[in-house]
Amino acid sequence: MEPSNADRLSRFRAVLTNQAVSMLLILILMWFLLSLLSPYFLTVGNLTEITLQTAVIGIIAAGETLVILSGGIDLSVGSVFACSGIAGGLIFQATGNLWFTMAVTVLTGAALGLFNGLFISWLRVPPFIATLGMLGMARGLALILSRGIPIFGLSKEYLWIGQGKIFDLVPVPTLILLAVFALVFFIARYTRFGRFTYAVGSNAEAAKLSGINLRWVILGTYALSGALCGVGAMIEAARLATVQPAGGNGYELLAIGAVVIGGTSLFGGEGNVIATLIGALIETTIRNGLNLLGVNAFWQYVVNGAVIIGAVAVDQWRRRL
Amino acid sequence: MLKTVNFELETGEVHALLGENGAGKSTLIKILAGAYTADSAKIWFRDKLISGNYGPKIAEDLGIVTIYQHFHLIPHLTVAENLSLKTFVSDPGWYVNWRTVQQRARETLARLHFAIDPGARVKDLSVAQQQMLEIAIALSKKAQVIVMDEPTAALSRPETEVLFGLIRQLKQHGIGIIYVSHKLEEVKIIADRVTILRDGNNVATLDAKTADLREIIRLMIGASPTNEPRQGALPREKSIFSINKLQNKHFRKKLDLVVYEHEILGITGLVGAGKTELSRVIFGADKKISGEIRFAGAPISLRQPRDAVKLGLGYVPEDRDSKGLCLNLAVRENIGLATLVKLKGWLFDRGAERKLVRHAVSSMRIRAQGLDQPVKYLSGGNKQKVVLGKWLAAQCKLLVLDEPTIGIDVGARQDIYRLIQEFRREPGHAVILVSSDIDEILQIADRILVLADYRVVADLDSIRTDKHQVLEYCTRRTATPAV
């Protein structure tokens, strides 16, 4: 056996059967078709808009990817998103300090995620139930903290996070999106924590018997997922110039959708982070395309749900090949 | 997989199918079950050529029933329900007649003299009882031919005897049995003929009673196996690992154990004697209530497997698929895992990992299509080498092996024995080998501890004892199982 040759061959095969690659081709095909259907689609302005619209969901989905890779699921992202946004918004109202606000927003998200992890690893509540409970609790907290009233009066600096552009061209959220994916990709591939996340997702018992601290991995993935909800919340607040306690409704569908469209297995241990970015871009492209084609906005939910089911069906079919 | 295979089974015959992993045994029995389709095949049943597409339906109609190595029982249902699953599917009615279900179960079990409670849930049964239940289900399907894939893999000696008694009974009823096994001694006892497969061809069919074991092995692997000369107990100089007055939920009576440097300590006993439980305590996977554990001269505390790994212990669990491997991860990721656990800091060097794993793969002769192939595609022997390689790569000092050669072909088994021997020669190293295969223990271990009913009943020097004596100790203190 020639190890290096065999390595190369199996890597080549892995590329061909990779869901990320096939989804990238589908994304390009979608862009091509939409550019034929709408002259406006393939403009710099619209493509920039797509990355901008992808930013919030993409960032949340990046954290969700780690959770799903570890064999869990985080249904609470939408509520954690709202609650951390509100917590930060209140701090901003009180202090006006943007750095402090950022820290509080992200740390609130991380803390709520940490609670998810504690429920799962200490109380042994299944992830589905633990995060479903958090979905309710975090939403309630957001409404209690804000007394149900949206927060306005964000400063110009705050708004720059969502509306600013670097060199008058690249939106700030797009840059944050890329930075977050670079970071999560790095974590998944080059850190021990990342590798342990895959191992726990693949076989928790074997991972434990290899000496991996399951608790540490579970707490880490959920805390990171929560923290990234906080990052997303800052961007959305800055784009809309308001923090809404009812915001982020249904984001779990979009985030989990982006992950599974990217081909990450809901059984854990299989998938990659960059594929999630492509999955999120596909979701945004569909929404953007339907808008441009003048389709009723309510249909977007239907199409989005159908695409998630379709993507997983295709993935299952491809795995059998 | 298969090239050309001819196979013939007579009425009331036990025909053993032998071969290394990858020789084509599984493929052949799956074709017989109709699970795989042959590119071309002619199948005769009672001198009639089977026409049409041979598939699961035809196999079932003919009465060919396969009992796979991994059971197809539903763990949360009762014995009786499992026995009636087939009729649940085929009955046209809307409701279940529980009285018939109970009656059918009682009759089937009584006919076979199985002492299993029909109301017990399958998940609470021992592996041996599950095996018996599989056979009962096969018989309730009016089997003409029963294919048994490694039926004794998880059985203790007396349980194997019971199974053999059953097989002899089946023979008398004219039922043909295809018996797939790696345990050659057993095959000689129970089989009438053996057919040996190698690389997808059948190389020979022999009379089981007159065939020579070494000849069979030679036909299977294509070369004569080399046996390490047995060494016997080593001078008890330096203790590597010791347990003093251990007690936990399993081990009520205080248990002591010492392993010396360079030693291979064999631990054997019947199913339920506490072998796996003991190995789990040693590795920190089960908690102890009291007692002292020392490693390399110092007392240690093992609260979880991680503590053991960090100290330099390695554990090869009994069930490699469910406890030893991350099946959908690559060979590289599996072998590198324990090494990674021992590292400090956030990052690790992927290049160094690749180098480490490449070395392990070539020195252990792991057959894989590259380091990035998911381990789920490897054969049993290669999978086991990956589990072992994980610990060798992590440079552990004490290896705890629980049934390391179960369901593994002769070639891979020899490789694993060789690796164990190489490992123990290193300074400060020792091996604890847990096995219910007494021949294996006698061949490999220097010293043998016999467990019965969660107690050490004998501490034997392997060259001053024999199978007879070990078996005697095994059975001496066995409690009668509660029914």
Q: Can you count the helices (H) and strands (E) in chain A? A: 14, 2
Tell me the C-alpha distance between B395 and B428, whole Å.
Answer: 11
Closest alpha carbon to A147 in A90, A106, A231? A90
Cβ contacts of A185 on chain B, cutoff 8 Å: none
| β-bridge pairing B264-269 and B430-434 | parallel
Count of CB atoms situated within 10 Å of the CB of A99 = 9
Do the bridges between strand B290-295 and strand B239-247 make them parallel or antiparallel, or are there none, so unpaired? Answer: antiparallel
Set of chain B residues whose Cβ sits within 8 Å of the Cβ of A195: 333, 336-337, 340, 348
Q: What are the phi and psi torsion angles at B400 (to 5°)?
A: -110, 115
Mean pLDDT of B346-371: 90
From the list B323, B328, B373, which residue is nearest A202 (CB)? B328
Q: Is A17 at the interface with chain B, CB within 8 A?
A: no
Residue A19 in this model has a pLDDT that exceeds 60: yes
Do residues B79 and B118 touch, judged by C-beta distance below 8 A? yes
Q: Which of B310, B334, B341 to mutate to test the interface with A (most CBs of A within 10 A)?
A: B341
DSSP H or E run through B314 = strand B313-316
Q: What is the mean pLDDT of chain B?
A: 84
pLDDT over 70, % of chain A: 93
Is any Cβ of chain B less than 8 angstroms from the Cβ of A199? yes
Global pTM value: 0.78
B95 pLDDT above the threshold of 80: no
Confidence of residue B267 (pLDDT cuts 50, 70, 90): very high
- Position of tokens 């959770």? A67
Q: Express each pLDDT in B141-156 by its tens digit.
A: 778 899 988 887 767 7
Task: Quote the CA–CA distance of A129 and A121 in Å, as a whole number.
Answer: 13
What is the pLDDT confidence band of residue A3, given thresholds at 50, 70 and 90?
A: very low
Q: Is the pLDDT of residue B226 over 70?
A: no
B89 pLDDT above the threshold of 80:
no
Predicted confidence at residue A17, as pLDDT, reads 59
pLDDT digits (tens, 9 = 90+) for A202-212: 999 999 999 99
Q: What is the pLDDT of residue B72?
A: 79
pLDDT digits (tens, 9 = 90+) for B102-137: 888 888 888 777 777 888 888 888 777 788 888 888
Nearest to A198 among B308, B333, B347 (CB): B333
Q: Can you read off the two tokens belonging to residue B255?
A: 């248990």
A215 sits in which H/E element: helix A214-240
Q: Give me the residue from B306, B338, B370 closest to A213, CB to CB.
A: B306
AA identity, residue A78 = G
Contact A48, A300 (CB under 8 A): no
Pairing of strands B14-18, B44-45: unpaired
Helix H or strand E encompassing B207: strand B201-207
Q: Is the pLDDT of residue B479 over 70?
A: no
Three-state SS at B204? strand
Residues of B in contact with A7 (CB under 8 A): 370-372
Which range has highest mean pLDDT (A18-22, A100-104, A259-263)? A100-104
Return the pLDDT at B480.
39
Instruction: Express each pLDDT in B179-212 by its tens digit.
Output: 988 777 788 889 999 998 887 888 888 888 888 8
CB contact under 8 A, B372 and A14: yes
**Average pLDDT, integer, range A239-246:** 93
Residues of A in Cβ contact (< 8 Å) with B345: 192
The size of chain A, in residues, is 321
* Residue ranges in B369-466 assigned as alpha helix (H): 380-393, 410-425, 438-444
Mean pLDDT of chain A: 90
Given CB atoms, is A15 within the 8 Å cutoff of chain B? no
More confident of the two residues B81 and B97: B81
Name the DSSP letter for residue B369.
S
The ipTM value here is 0.85
Q: Which pair of tokens denotes residue B186? A: 């057993």
Radius of gyration of chain B (CA): 24
Distance CA B449, CA B93 (A): 56
Taking 50 as the threshold, does the pLDDT of residue A245 lie above it? yes
Q: Report residue B287's pLDDT band, with 50, 70 and 90 as the boundaries.
A: confident
Highest mean pLDDT among B243-252, B267-276, B399-408: B399-408
- Tell me what percent of chain B is helix, strand and coil, each rounded to the nearest 5: 40, 20, 40
Residues contacting A80, CB < 8 A, separation 6+: A109, A112, A113, A134, A138, A226, A229, A230
